[in-house]
Amino acid sequence: MKRIPIQPDFYDWRTHARTLLQEGFAPEDVDLTDATIATTLQLALEDEDPRPTGTHVPTPHVPKTYLEAAELAASHRSPDRWNLLYRILYRLQTQPELLRIEVDTDIAQLRSLVQQVRRDLHKMHAFVRFRKVEADPMDEANPFAPHASTLAGNVNPLAEHFVAWYQPDHRILHLAAPFFAERFASMHWTVLTPDASVSWNPNSKQLAFGPGLPREHAPQADELETLWRAYYSSIFNPARLNPDVMRSEMPVRYWKNLPEIDVLPQLITQSANRVGAMVQTQALKPSAAPFVPAEHTLPVINAAMPSCKGCDLYLHATQVVPGVAPSAHPSHTVELMMVGEQPGDQEDRAGKPFVGPAGRVLDRALEELGIDRSTVYVTNAVKHFKFVQRGKLRLHQNPRMSEITACRPWLLAEIDAVRPRVILCLGSSAAKSLLGGTFGLMRDHGKIFPTPYANQVVATIHPSAVLRARDQPSGEQLYNFLKDDLALAYHAALHGSSVQPDVTSV
Amino acid sequence: MFLSFFARIFYTVSCPRIQLPTMMTVQQKLEILADAAKYDASCASSGAKRAATPGGIGSTDGTGICHSYTPDGRCVSLLKILLTNFCTYDCVFCVNRVSSDIRRARFAPEEVVALTLDFYKRNYIEGLFLSSGIIQSPDYTMEQLVAVARILRQVHRFGGYIHLKTIPGCDPKLIAEAGLFADRLSANIELPTQQDLVQLAPEKKAAVIESTMGEIATRKDEADEDRRKSTLAPRFAAAGQSTQMVIGATAATDREILSTATHLYSAYKLRRVYYTGFSPYPEADTRLPLKPAPLIREHRLYQSDWLVRFYGFQASELTTPENPSLSLSEDPKTTWAKAHPEFFPIDINSAPREALLRIPGIGHKNVDRILSIRRYHLLTLGDLRKLHVRVKDAQPYCIAADHLPSAPLLAAATTVPDTDLVAAATQLDLFAPLSALTGSV
């Protein structure tokens, strides 16, 4: 068997392979070894003068696609690659369609080598990280300029030099360099690898190759890396943590080169905490849910309500103020439900909703529209009175969003028990409870919204806004405003589903 | 008078006062504005080739490169940031909505330009993906975005990838200018149906978003036509346009989502539709669901999207009006195959491309390989294994040189009663694919 050591260079193989083909060596007659791997003494002694047993090919032909694939595979570190490439070359002389039969063992192996080199190349384009040095790469005093003597040019003391160290799996620097040359054409840059190194001179547009260098020959930091780490830490979503995918796309062997990996352990542990904290704050939020009975009928709900300690409002209020069902027809289905904000001073003492000054405004509007209040279900979004004590006065305070949200389970239970056709929200607290925390009352009052709770939900101002108006005319305007929306809601409730929700105007 | 009175009351009630931060550093701004951009799923930097300009920096080779991966498994390809997260809109599902209580920041265009170049020169990124909250007006916001792209391209001769978000409703002239500088433009459709938008994004209208998409598509068509006449004609958004849809925030079904996607692909020649599963956040609005959309639903939508774009499926084939949701437990191609036993088995060595594409477990690249190999060589199951076909999924549905699916195997896979199979076999004759099964050619 003829044994030839091949240098790690595609053109060395190509020269030898051409000669071997012309001399008629079959793949079994030769062993093309990797010259960088030391041959054992026994193998070296075994060699004698072999005779070719194959067909002579005076003028070898080969498809261009094969040469391209072979050049990529030649950069692979597999010691068998030279034999594989010769075997395929030999078979191609008699079997020109061989390359298309991807399930052939040799071709499958070639494809796998090519794919691995391509992937390595792609990862190198991705994971090389340049570090900037304020020195000229053509200055021999620059510690990061291994090719200063090769790069002809004048030394510029203000030059910027970008240097990277990288360890590819295969010998691909010469394949990777043109990509960087095109992309960073106007920069002085150097890439160091353990096998070889390369620099680019943007003035002469020349690549200068040199020997491999260890990591210590590259700069150890760059000020921009702090910003890059900040970006890396901010751009990911901790709620979708998936480190397995990250590791398969960015295997650990590349990590030593990536500045952003410094923050990785911290990001992974923190993301559990960040999501945990989010869940915890949600769990710690006050809620009436534990106090709401499973059975949603009005007697059961009203019986359970006084025991509610879902938020802190129960501490100071006199009593809970439940909703009032239509008294005249207890079994009658409720068409309209009105939801106010919260009990006031008088409601708190009486234990009934809308019996104070605001209630009288509401009653006046109902009366003028000819609506019998006893046919309507009246309740509040928040069931306890919230106030500050000023001497003898108890001054009403707006409930906060957290208190509205905490009390929501009661309201939803009431809705479930009553199943009204239309819900009228009086004021923004009720509207926010049912239509969302960002509901704009000014913008969207008097419009009918479909919601999961009722097909038609309308919002209007709270009757107390009429009382708080600064003068007579604006008070009148506000009152008409309330009355119009009330009329709309009542009309929708009476006519049932025949009224189309007015959602188009949004 | 009346209005101003109300405006005062309700403004103070419903809008938390926004406090301008005092002199933030670039790093603080970057943290806020990258964090605000992370919900945009698009990361692609592919589809456009751009040669380096002499004396400039950067090139785009058309394939796209992921320069890093974050712990959520996502690719970091572009510097993805917002110009600002101040926003006058109040879209319920969006973290940057005006009523959201988050830290706000704003970059000057020059700061974004410097960051992009600094990151690019160190090989951290492929380019820039710039979006923004709506400030002042759509036109003003779009002008700011275009300014960044213009400085990068004209002052710094930047050849890297630029993806600009177009602000729906902005002046068509701004879109025309944006397309000259950007490789990709996108306008987010946000939600699958107009009703969803009415509910959750009151300021956004599907018609306006679609007219922006139409504007981009028309400009691109014109530019492409000019380029056919002369290669010197300017390019317009070489990598086309994409959009994003939030899924699971509303009750829209997979069937509706896929039908919207198909409409967008065909009407505006979109390159990509991105689907982002909704995930709830604290202080969420009651109009939003309480549960996150399962990630697997997002995955199934992407699979369906691929089946439509690369496998010759119609979106309407993948779900039925009676069952408008995709199965979460099996991929949509398998679901279709199970429902269509009359179509199988398919002979790997003779069936046309369209038929091979419908076999579960075989990807479209492998279909091309099979077509090339079988001219010289009859494929066996072992050969399919060498091509990394998922043979376990494929074998009930295909015939190979050494394999005929047994009737029980096919029946088990399709869950159709045997009688139906026989009936189907007797109805179809001579060239029927089932003939191999019964041996009745």
Please list every residue in chain A whose beta carbon sits closer than 8 Å to the beta carbon of residue B298: none
Q: What is the 3-state secondary structure (H, E, C) of chain B?
A: CHHHHHHHHHHHHHCCCCCCCCCCCHHHHHHHHHHCCCCCCCCCCCCCEECCCCCCECCEECCCCCCEECCCCCEECEEEEECECCCCCCCCCCCCCCCCCCCCCECCHHHHHHHHHHHHHCCCCCEEEEECCCCCCHHHHHHHHHHHHHHHHHHCCECCEEEEECCCCCCHHHHHHHHHHCCEEECCCECCCHHHHHHHCCCCCHHHHHHHHHHHHHHHHHHHHHHHHCCCCCCCCCCCEEEEEEECCCCCCHHHHHHHHHHHHHHHCCCEEEEEECCCCCCCCCCCCCCCCCHHHHHHHHHHHHHHHHCCCCHHHHCCCCCCCCCCCCCHHHHHHHHCHHHCCEECCCCCHHHHCCCCCCCHHHHHHHHHHCCCCCCCHHHHHHCCCCHHHHHHHEEECCECCCHHHHHHHHCCCHHHHHHHHHHCCCCCCCHHHHCCC
Q: Is A496 left (phi over 0), alpha (psi -120 to 50) or beta?
A: left
The beta-carbon neighbor of B70 closest among A102, A187, A235 is: A235
Q: Do A441 and B10 touch (CB under 8 A)?
A: yes
Please list every residue in chain B whose beta carbon sits closer than 8 Å to the beta carbon of residue A222: 122
Please list every residue in chain B whose beta carbon sits closer than 8 Å to the beta carbon of residue A230: 27, 30-31, 34
- The Cα–Cα gap between B404 and B426 comes to 19
- The Cα–Cα gap between B123 and A175 comes to 17
Average pLDDT over residues B366-384: 93
B140 interfaces chain A, CB cutoff of 8 Å: no
Do residue B142 and residue B247 come from a single domain?
A: yes
Do residue B270 and residue B371 come from a single domain?
A: no
- The Cα–Cα gap between B436 and B441 comes to 7
Q: How confident is the model at residue A152 (pLDDT cuts 50, 70, 90)?
A: low
Distance from CA of A125 to the nearest CA of B (A): 8
Do residue B231 and residue B364 come from a single domain?
A: no
Q: How many domains does chain B have?
A: 2
Query: Domain ends where: B235, B254, B275?
Result: B275
Average pLDDT for chain B: 82
The residue extents of the domains of chain A are 2-126, 131-217, 225-284, 289-498
- Does A421 or B288 have the greater pLDDT score? A421
A97 interfaces chain B, CB cutoff of 8 Å: yes
Q: Which residue of A has its CA nearest to B160?
A: A183
Quick check: B425 and B438 in contact, CB under 8 A?
yes
Do residue B342 and residue B262 come from a single domain?
A: no
The answer to whether residue B15 sits within a structural domain is no
Query: Domain ends where: B275, B298, B320?
Result: B275
Interface test with A, best of B70, B121, B129, B276 (most A CBs within 10 A): B70
The beta-carbon neighbor of B286 closest among A184, A436, A465 is: A436
Q: Given this model, what pLDDT does residue A276 score?
A: 65
Please list every residue in chain B whose beta carbon sits closer than 8 Å to the beta carbon of residue A228: 119, 122, 124
Q: What is the 3-state secondary structure (H, E, C) of A346-385?
A: HHHHHCCCCCCHHHHHHHHHHHHHCCCHHHCEEEECCCCC
pLDDT at A147 over 80: no
B82 interfaces chain A, CB cutoff of 8 Å: no
Average pLDDT over residues B185-197: 87
Q: Do A268 and B38 touch (CB under 8 A)?
A: no
The answer to whether residue B77 sits within a structural domain is yes
pLDDT at A329 over 60: no
Average pLDDT over residues B408-435: 44
Least confident of A205-214, A378-387, A493-502: A493-502
Do residue B147 and residue B264 come from a single domain?
A: yes
Q: Which residue of B has its CA nearest to A222?
A: B122
Portion of chain B with pLDDT greater than 70, in percent: 83
- Does B50 or B107 have the greater pLDDT score? B107
- Does B399 or A453 have the greater pLDDT score? B399
Do residue B122 and residue B46 come from a single domain?
A: yes
Tens-place pLDDT, residues A50-77: 788 888 888 888 999 999 999 999 999 9
Question: Does the structural domain A289-498 have CATH classification 3.40.470.10?
Answer: yes
Residue B146 amino acid letter: V
- Does A5 or A139 have the greater pLDDT score? A5
Q: Do B72 and A278 touch (CB under 8 A)?
A: no
B343 interfaces chain A, CB cutoff of 8 Å: no
The answer to whether residue B28 sits within a structural domain is yes
The answer to whether residue B306 sits within a structural domain is no
The answer to whether residue B2 sits within a structural domain is no
* Dihedral sign for Cα atoms in the order B318, B324, B330, B335: negative
Do residue B92 and residue B165 come from a single domain?
A: yes
Tens-place pLDDT, residues B213-259: 999 999 998 898 888 888 888 889 888 899 999 888 888 899 999 99
Do residue B355 and residue B246 come from a single domain?
A: no
Burial class (CB in 10 A: 0-12, 13-18, 19+), A411: buried
CB atoms under 10 Å from CB of B136, counted, come to 11
Do residue B33 and residue B140 come from a single domain?
A: yes
CATH code assigned at B128: 3.20.20
Could you tell me if the ipTM is greater than 0.95? no
Structural domain that includes position B345: 337-438
Do residue B250 and residue B342 come from a single domain?
A: no
Please list every residue in chain A whose beta carbon sits closer than 8 Å to the beta carbon of residue B282: 278, 281-282
Query: Domain ends where: B275, B308, B329?
Result: B275
Burial class (CB in 10 A: 0-12, 13-18, 19+), A217: middle
Please list every residue in chain A whose beta carbon sits closer than 8 Å to the beta carbon of residue B58: 183
B211 interfaces chain A, CB cutoff of 8 Å: no
B37 interfaces chain A, CB cutoff of 8 Å: yes
Portion of chain A with pLDDT greater than 70, in percent: 90
The pTM for the full model equals 0.73
Tens-place pLDDT, residues B291-350: 667 888 999 999 999 999 999 999 999 999 988 999 999 999 999 999 999 999 999 999
The answer to whether residue B290 sits within a structural domain is no
Closest CA to B243 of B212, B218, B222: B212
Least confident of A149-163, A338-352, B142-156, B294-308: A149-163
Distance from CA of A298 to the nearest CA of B (A): 24
Q: Which residue of A has its CA nearest to B63?
A: A122
Cis amide bond preceding B345, omega within 30: yes
Tens-place pLDDT, residues A285-314: 678 888 888 888 888 998 999 998 888 888
